[in-house]
């Protein structure tokens, strides 16, 4: 049976750790993000996290029922970073574009954490606020409810899917990442037009284009589709 999480007011009354640090959920998440960045998901354990915080690992269970709940808190923290940098303008397309790019950037700033959390549903405050905001942007713009849900679904899943894909590349060892990037020049660019005519004609563009994320382009295509849908509804 999971251990009960101690209420916030009782956590704050606990004595500091040996180093004088007063634990909080935010501090634990920040430390976990740092450990993921430095050691990957295999390096994030309750024991190692306790050592990094100078606290007994059992203390963590006063804040989280287990490492899975901590994982959800990490994912929610990344969404929170995107929310803090986002300001609505009242123009639905610009607002969705800036929010999508913000979420994508927040995950890519922590690629190891992104790999661990992009496929999870946290049900936490920042995720709920983000979902409410996207739905409100679409409804305020005049989208019917069925279209709102359909576009919201595509927007969220596309954003997280690209975040996971791009984070996976960033999480590769540097030698592997550079080898993958060089493949567009060392192999694709040298294919003869006699055997691969379409690749050969596109090779110079591929060598440049494929090194960047396709998310901004995919996002614009999604927004184009949504705009056409809205126009058709108004007509």
**How far apart are the two ends of the chain, measured CA to CA in Å?**
57
Mean pLDDT per 10-residue section of the chain, whose length is 235 residues:
51 56 91 92 91 90 93 97 95 98 97 95 96 98 97 98 96 92 92 97 94 97 97 88
DSSP string, 111-156: HHHHHHHTT----SHHHHHHHHHHHHHHHHHT--HHHHHHHHHHHH
Q: Which domains does the chain have, with CATH numbers?
A: 8-65 (1.10.10), 73-234 (1.10.357.10)
* CA 18 – CA 235 distance, rounded (Å): 67
* CA 95 – CA 134 distance, rounded (Å): 9
Note the pTM of the prediction, 2 decimals: 0.87
The answer for residues whose C-beta is within 8 angstroms of residue 171's C-beta and 6 or more apart is: 40, 111, 112, 115
How many residues belong to the chain? Answer: 235
How far CA 182 is from CA of 26, 125, 178, in Å, comes to: 40, 42, 6
pLDDT at 234: 87
Mind listing the pLDDT tens digit for each residue in 97-140?
999 999 999 999 999 999 999 999 999 999 999 999 999 999 99
Structure tokens that stand for 101 in this block: 């790019």
* CA 201 – CA 23 distance, rounded (Å): 58
pLDDT at 16: 64
* CA 163 – CA 147 distance, rounded (Å): 24
pLDDT at 21: 73
pLDDT at 1: 40
pLDDT at 117: 96
The answer for residues whose C-beta is within 8 angstroms of residue 220's C-beta and 6 or more apart is: 97
């Amino acid at each position: 049976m999971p251990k009960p999480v101690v209420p916030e007011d009782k956590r704050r009354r606990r004595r500091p750790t040996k180093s004088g640090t007063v634990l909080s959920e935010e501090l634990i998440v920040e430390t976990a993000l740092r450990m993921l960045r430095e050691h990957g998901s295999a390096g994030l354990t309750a024991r190692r996290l306790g050592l990094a915080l100078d606290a007994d690992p059992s203390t963590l269970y006063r804040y989280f029922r287990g490492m899975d709940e901590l994982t959800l808190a990490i994912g929610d923290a990344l969404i929170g970073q995107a929310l803090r940098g986002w300001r609505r303008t009242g123009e639905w397309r610009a607002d969705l574009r800036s929010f999508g790019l913000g979420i994508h950037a927040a995950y890519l700033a922590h690629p190891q954490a992104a790999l661990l959390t992009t496929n999870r549903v946290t049900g936490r405050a920042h995720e709920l606020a983000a979902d409410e905001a996207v739905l409100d942007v679409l409804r305020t713009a005049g989208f019917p409810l069925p279209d709102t849900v359909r576009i919201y679904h595509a927007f969220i899943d596309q954003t997280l899917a690209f975040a996971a894909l791009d984070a996976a590349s960033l999480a590769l060892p540097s030698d592997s990442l550079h080898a993958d990037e060089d493949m567009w020049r060392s192999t694709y660019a040298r294919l003869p037009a006699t055997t691969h005519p379409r690749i050969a004609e596109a090779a110079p563009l591929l060598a440049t284009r494929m090194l960047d994320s396709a998310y901004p382009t995919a996002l614009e295509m999604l927004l184009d589709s949504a705009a056409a849908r809205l126009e058709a509804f108004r007509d």
